[in-house]
Every structure is written in C-alpha cells, then in structure tokens.
Structure 1
Amino acid sequence: MRLISINVLTTGMVIGRTIWNEAGHPLLQKNVVVSDGIIKRLKQLGIQYLYIEDEISSGIEIEETVSHAKRTKAVKQITESFNKVKGLNSYSASLVLDQQSKVIGELVDDLLNSVTKNEEILTILTDTLIYDEYIYQHSFQVTLYSLAIAKELGYSYADLKTIGIGALLHDVGKMVIPTDILLKPGRLTDEEYETMKKHARYGFDILRNLHTVSLLVAHCAFQHHERLDGSGYPRGLVDYEIHPFAKIIAVADVFDAVTSNRVYRKKMLPSQGIEIIESGKGTMFDSRVVDALKRSIVHYPNGSIVLLSDGRRGVVAKQNIENSALPHIRIFEENNTLLKSTYLLSLAAEKSVLIEKVETDYIVNIE
C-alpha cells in the first residue's frame, strides 16, 4: 500500500487501509473503491493523507506499534478520566484522579508493555483523527512517544512508569480551561492564549495533591512547556531548572502537535516534524532527547513515495531498525522513467544517496 495526499485521490483508486473515525468506528473499509462522494466526505472530515493499494506498492504493509483496538480502548479510558475532573476545582479534581489512579496506572503499564516488548521503531498513524477529540488522542500519543524516547535513553522500568503517567496527565489542566477557548475552531487571541497557558499551572495544582502518584508527575505537567533557553512558560525556567522527565515530554508534546490534524493547521509528515524539533535542538529542546526521538520513531512511514538525491524515485518498503532515517526503498523509477521491474535499495548501504523529499502528491503514470 502507498501513502498519498487527499489532493491526488481519484475515483477508482482502492483504499489500502481502513480509515477510522474519532470514536473508533470504521469510516471507510480497506479495499473499498473510491468514488466522488467518498472523496468529498474525506475532505470534509479534514483527512489529509490515506493509504491506497496499487501496483508499485503491492505487498508493502504498515503496522502500528499499538493496535487499533488497544488505541481505542486507551483513548476511551483517557477521555473518561479527564471528563470526570472537567469543571472541578483543583482539590476536587485531585480526589477524583486519585480514585482513577489504578485505571491510569494499568493503562500506562499496557502501553509500556507495547513499547518495551516491540523491537521495531515506533510507528503511530494519526491520519484519521478528528480535532474535537484532539486532547485525548494527543495525551495517548504523547505517552507513547515519551515512553519510546525514555526507553531509548535507558531509563529504568520504574522511571518509565513515572514518565508514562506524567505524559498521560501532562494536559489534565486543560480540563479547567473554559470550553469555548479549549475547543475554539481557530487560532486563539492573545488574551485567550494567555488563559490557555495557565493549564500547566492548573495541572500542577491538581496533580501535586495526588497521594497515589509521584510528585514528579505534577512537575511533568508544570514544566512541559518550559524551554532550555528560558523562552517557555509558565515560569521561564532554563536548562538546569527543568526536570529531565519534563524535557522528554516537551519534545514528545511538540512532535505530536505538529504531526497531528488540527482545525487551524495542516499536519506535517513525521520527517517534517523531526525537522521542526531538530531546529530547536540545544536551544529549546534537550539534545539527548531530540537524538533519542530521532532514533526511536519512524521518519518515513512504509508506503511513502520518496525522491532520492540521485534522481531515483521509490516507495519506502521496510524500516531499518539500526537507523530509522535510512529505510529500505523499493525503486520503481530512474531518470523519470518507470522501470519494468523494481528493486530494493538500502540507504544504509549507499550512504551517498539521501532522501530529498517525500512526495505524497506524486502521480504514478503506469501505461
């Protein structure tokens, strides 16, 4: 299967991967033939990328680190836990979250098990997520990214568990933010943004009074928007003042934010998200954490069309677990001419050849 932009989806194409809505129900089943009505509906839902089946990508499969069923269950549990504290003061919210601590702990254990037992590079596909459920999906994804980074950095199981809970609850303070600001379908005004920024403090106030989790969890919520150079909020902390766990969640938080659908901004591909994080390496984000992110997640998902520096074009066929930036490419075109038969290129073996760009708008002309 092959990843394409909604802009080049045409009638007659075959859906390669089931598209799920935010409630976890199938919106469009695999192997369905695309019609004009389907294209219109997908655009209305804000879906930017999807997978199709075609000849050049035949046999290429994409598997997420966490199954769809496990993701749906996890997001449902996060939603229920967060909604129980919505509108409460910090003291009451703390009492409610204490009662939810067992569910939260078991959820993190489950995700931690998925990440630590899977030797493959972390793959999370967010192409069908709808913005009104963003906070819950975001909490789920930030948890997975944080666990993958922390695992790569060699943290103990106990620390991984604390980091996971901190990541899962890092945005719980948003439940105190007025709904009209939290779910505003567009960019916030300066005044609204100042209100939104208070969620870090609100989260700390809720979590520091929990008797069932480490105080470090509260500091994860308090500090995940702080930056090494002091440009973050709410306190403008600098490098040595920010806890290492919060530095991990900060990177995971921004990476997921830029690679997920938002109503006011188009999502980026993973490789583009990594470039954003890389641009802040050593200034806003901890260098070790950024490097760990780059080692632990998929840069170019299977099925992505890529243009190489020598002019060849191919589709990512499988990942390289030794270096996620250098996947195996199924070459199908040379000098703008389709080949009669494809062949596999290992970018790790030919290091002089680089990926120039991902081409989700590329149209294959097979005569």
Structure 2
Amino acid sequence: MRLLPLSMVRPGMRLGKKIYNSDGLTLLGERVELTQALITRLGEHGVDFVYIDDPRTRDLIIHDVLSEETRTHAITEIRTSFRKMMEDQVKRKLVGQLQVGKAFRGMMSMILDDLSQHKDAMIMLTNISLMDEYLFHHSLNVCIYATMLGMAHGYDREELMTLGLGALLHDVGKTQIPLELLRKKGKLSDSEYERIKQHTIFGFQFLKDEPNIPLLAAHCAFQHHERLDGSGYPRGLRGSEIHEYARWIGLVDSYDAMTTHRVYRSAMLPHQAMEILFAGSGTLYETRQIELFRDKIAIYPIGITVTLNTGETGVVVDLNANVPQRPVVRLLLDAEGQELKDMPEIDLSKMLSVMITGVNHKPI
C-alpha cells in the first residue's frame, strides 16, 4: 500500500487501510473503491492522507500499535467523558469531581499492554480518522506518542501510567472552552487567545482532586504549554521548573497538532514538523527529548512516496531504526519518469550519496 495526499487520490483507486469515524469505528474498509464523491467527503472531514492499495507495494504490512479493540474503547471513553463535561459547561452546571479516574486507569492499562508489544518499534501512527472531533483523537495520539517515548526513555510501568494519564487528559480543560472558539478558522483576537489559554488552568482544577488520577497528571495538564525559555503559559515557568513529563507532553502535543488536519490549515508531514521542533531546540523544547523523538519517530513513514537526488522516485518500504531519516526505498520510476519493471530496493543507510529531496511530488 501507499500513503498518498488526498489531492493525488483519483476515482477508481482502492483503500489500502481502513478509515475510522469519530467514534473509532470503521467507516470505510480495506479495498473499498473510492469515488469522487467519497474523496470530496473525506476532504470535507479533514482527511489529508489515505493509504491506497497498489499492486507494486501490496506486500507492505503496516502494523498498528493499538489493537482495534483498545482504540475503539479508548476513543469511546474519551468521547463520552469529554462530551459530558462539554454539556455541563453549556448548561452552566457546576462541574465537581469528574469520577473518570478508574475508567481512565483501566483504559491506560490496555494501552500499556498493547504498546509494550511494540516498544522497540519506530513510532508511526497509521490510523486515518475523520477529524470532526479533533480533541478526542488528539488526546489519544498524544498519549501514544508520550508513552512510547517514555518506554524508550526507560520509565517503569507506574511512571508510564502517570505519564500516559497526564497525556490522555492534558487537554481536558478545553471542554470548558466554547466550541466555536476552538473551531475558529481565522486569527484569534487577544481576548480569544487568553480564553483558550485558560484550558490549562481548568484542566488542573478538574484533575487535582480526582480519585485514581495522580496529582502529577494534573500538573501535566497545567504545564504542557510551558516552554524552557519562559515564553509559555499559564505561569511562564522555565527549564527545570517544568516537570519532565509535562515537557514530553508539550513536545508531542505540538508535533501531533502540526501533523493533524486543523480547521485553519492542512496537516504537515512528519519531517516538516520535526524541522520546526528542532528550530525550537534548547529554547522551547529540551534538546535531548527532541533527539530521542527524532530517533524513534518514522520521519518518512512506510508507504510514503519520495523523490531522490538521483531523480528517481520510489516508496518507503522499511525503516532503519538507527538512522530513521535514511529508510529503505523501492524504486518505481527512473530519473526520466519511466516505470521500472524490476523495482529495485535501495537502503539509504548504505548509500550515503543518495538523499531524499522531495515527498509526494510526483504521481506514480
């Protein structure tokens, strides 16, 4: 299968991987033939990339880090809990203890069990979902990224439980921000931005006395927008004043926001987002954390189309854990754009003069 931007998808192509709805349930299954109406509909729902079935890459198997059962359970639990808080806010009901601690700990235990089976894998989220309810999917994505980085860092299970819960619930305070403000397409006014920033305070207030939720997880909600140089919010904390867990979550929160479709812009590709994170190395984000993330993230995901400095075009078919920026590429077109019948594979970690110069630049 190949990972294509929706702009390069044409009627008659077939899906190579399921697409999920906002409840985490299958909306379109594998091998479904795409029509122009379906393609348009996917675009309207914030889908920027899809996996397409292609005989030349049909042997590629892309494993999900979460089972379908765990993912569906997690999205349902997050959605139910967050929606209840949103409804209470609209009705101006007093929100006391959320009573979500037991359910979220059980969910986090399922997530840890699934991720522990892939702890040495490169981090590559491969599920395509409609983004009508961005907050719910974003919360789960940030949890997966942060937990896998925590595993790579060497945290034990209880530490991972706390980090994961902090990541799952880092944006819970946004349930108290009006939806029209969260979904605004244009530039926020100063007063609107100040209102958005309050979600960190709301999140801490919700979680600090919540049974079965560690106080440290509440501080993750409080601190995930703080930055090393003091430019973050809500308190302008600096350096080690920000807990290490919150620094991990702040890093992956930014990455997932950049690589996910938003109402005001399309999704970036992983290598583009990573460049932006490195631009903030040492000032916004901790350098050693970015470097570990770079070493664990699939900068060029399996299935993505790349152009090489040789002029050839191919598809990434395998990853090199030691040098993720230099994957294995199956060549499909030569430098003149002619199809290669033998489709040779080259390992860029062993051919240092060959480099990736473009992504998704040519239809093949």
Shared fold per TM-score greater than 0.5: yes
Cα pair 2:184 2:264 within 8 Å, conserved: no
Structure 2 unaligned regions, length at least 5? none
Q: After superposition, where does 1:141-220 map in structure 2 within 5 Å?
A: 141-220=141-220
Match of residue 41 from structure 1: 41
Q: How far is the alpha carbon of 1:354 from its aligned partner?
A: 2.1
Cα pair 1:22 1:128 within 8 Å, conserved: yes
Cα pair 1:224 1:247 within 8 Å, conserved: yes
Q: CA RMSD in A?
A: 2.2
Instruction: Return the alpha-carbon distance in structure 1 between the equivalents of residues 67 and 259 of structure 2.
Output: 19
Please say if 1:281 is aligned against 2:278: no
Please say if 1:21 is aligned against 2:21: yes
Cα pair 1:63 1:123 within 8 Å, conserved: no
Instruction: Return the alpha-carbon distance in structure 2 between the equivalents of residues 74 and 167 of structure 1.
Output: 13
Q: How far is the alpha carbon of 1:311 from its aligned partner?
A: 2.6
Give percent identity, aligned residues only: 37
Q: How far is the alpha carbon of 1:315 from its aligned partner?
A: 0.4
Match of residue 338 from structure 1: 339
Paired residue secondary structure (2:343): strand
Q: After superposition, where does 1:72-91 map in structure 2 within 5 Å?
A: 72-86=72-86, 87=88
**Pair 1:126–1:188, CA change in 2 (3 A):** farther
Cα pair 2:19 2:26 within 8 Å, conserved: yes
Q: How far is the alpha carbon of 1:348 from its aligned partner?
A: 1.7
After superposition, give the CA deviation of every residue in 1:134-158 in whole Å (9 maximum; x if it has no partner): 1111110100111111111112222
Cα pair 2:83 2:175 within 8 Å, conserved: yes
Q: How far is the alpha carbon of 1:290 from its aligned partner?
A: 0.7
Q: How far is the alpha carbon of 1:126 from its aligned partner?
A: 5.0
Q: How far is the alpha carbon of 1:357 from its aligned partner?
A: 2.1
Q: How far is the alpha carbon of 1:186 from its aligned partner?
A: 4.5
After superposition, give the CA deviation of every residue in 1:81-121 in whole Å (9 maximum; x if it has no partner): 223333369x964522xx32111111111112222221321
Higher relative contact order (Cα pairs below 8 Å, separated by 6+ residues): 1
Match of residue 100 from structure 1: 100
Cα pair 1:94 1:209 within 8 Å, conserved: no
Paired residue secondary structure (1:47): coil
Match of residue 353 from structure 1: 354
Cα pair 2:226 2:234 within 8 Å, conserved: yes
Instruction: Return the alpha-carbon distance in structure 2 between the equivalents of residues 47 and 217 of structure 1.
Output: 31
Match of residue 64 from structure 2: 64
Paired residue secondary structure (1:15): coil
Instruction: Return the alpha-carbon distance in structure 2 between the equivalents of residues 122 and 141 of structure 1.
Output: 11
Structure 1 unaligned regions, length at least 5? none
Match of residue 114 from structure 1: 114
Q: How far is the alpha carbon of 1:16 from its aligned partner?
A: 1.7
TM (norm. structure 2) is 0.92
Paired residue secondary structure (2:342): strand
Match of residue 248 from structure 2: 248
Cα pair 2:45 2:130 within 8 Å, conserved: no
Number of equivalences: 360
